[in-house]
Amino acid sequence: MTARTRKAPTRAPKAAPHRPASAPPEIATLPLAGGRKAHPALGLGLWAQGRWTPADEARTKATIGRGYEQGFRWFDTAEVYGGGRSERILGDVLARAAGGAPDVFITTKVSWEHLRPAQVRASLINSLERLGRTSVDLYLIHAPDAKVPLSDTIPALESLWKEGRVGAIGVSNFGVEELEEATRHLSEARIVVNQVRYNLFDRDEATPVQEYCRAHQILIEAYSPLARGLLHGRYLDAEKPTAEFKRFVQRQSETDLLPDLLRRARALRTLADEAGVPLASIALHWLARNGAAPIVGATRPEQVDGNLAAWRVRPDDSVLDRADAIARGDRA
């Protein structure tokens, strides 16, 4: 999601030919091997929150507050988000919640620029100060840095885990070789999470690590699960894709991928209409069925409500199977 978006036009779904299964009112949790807390199955990511002017802070706080009130307990942030402002805003909101929100599951990340042992410790101390916490539930390496060996970084993380400052250790944007290397430098703790970009249209980071993660009980967390709003219906009608979204789609490709991507997204929306479910329900529960925990974004309180409404409706497996084929470009 970008920091400023226009609300996408809504479409009323067609009459449902069947009644989809409903998720429980509360977000379920997943076992986290080696973690000190169960891991919520759906999280609220704060990548876009903390990048704005002071005038936007009230809306940012209202969005996080709505998330907590409506059942979100997993909040994902990082020291680089807004130069620490995202962590501070999250800490301010949670401090005002009942009892200081002791039931939350907080993930934050050490920057790829701070992977030397002394930097890792300093980064966590600074993050905890901004969050107003004595510990976080999950601490991730935001991305590897080829200039800093994991043999330096991983023992520093494990020391923080032994001290109780972090409940679990994880990584983000790691491939199999990096996961194997990280594991070799742990004595007691374990890598419990690998957070990667993952959605119906974008599987390049997740597919190569899925088998390894499954075999080693490493949970895959999926960021950009709704493809920057596309799998919520954005850009499928009058709203034109932004330059940032086009760059997100293109990345390394030399061909124009956008027209075909929009065609497949519209086909998925038709499928969602026929099934009587929100398009985002298909996107989120396809990930959940594949063993991933999605991290949705929101910049306004009503977007929190929309994400939760989508999560609480689980499409039938047959619908998810068809969605998988459509997203891959299977015309059959």
In whole angstroms, how far apart are CA 230 and each of 147, 188, 254?
36, 42, 21
Residues annotated as part of the active site: 81
Q: For the CA atoms of 82, 84, 87, 91, what is the dihedral angle to 10 degrees? A: -120
DSSP string, 97-118: SGGG-TT-EEEEEE-TT--SHH
Q: Residue 136 pairs with which residues in a beta bridge? A: 166
- SS3 string, 225-241, reads CCCCCHHHCCCCCCCCC
Inter-residue contact 307 to 296 (CB < 8 Å): yes
Name the helix (H) or strand (E) containing 193: strand 191-197
Q: Is 194 helix (H, G, I), strand (E, B) or coil?
A: strand
Task: Decide if 269 contacts 230 (C-beta within 8 A).
Answer: no
Query: Which residues touch 43 (CB under 8 Å, ≥6 apart)?
Result: 72, 74, 75, 76, 105, 107, 221, 293, 294, 295, 296
The CA-CA-CA angle for residues 65, 6, 76, to 5°, reads: 35
- Single-letter code of the amino acid located at 152: D
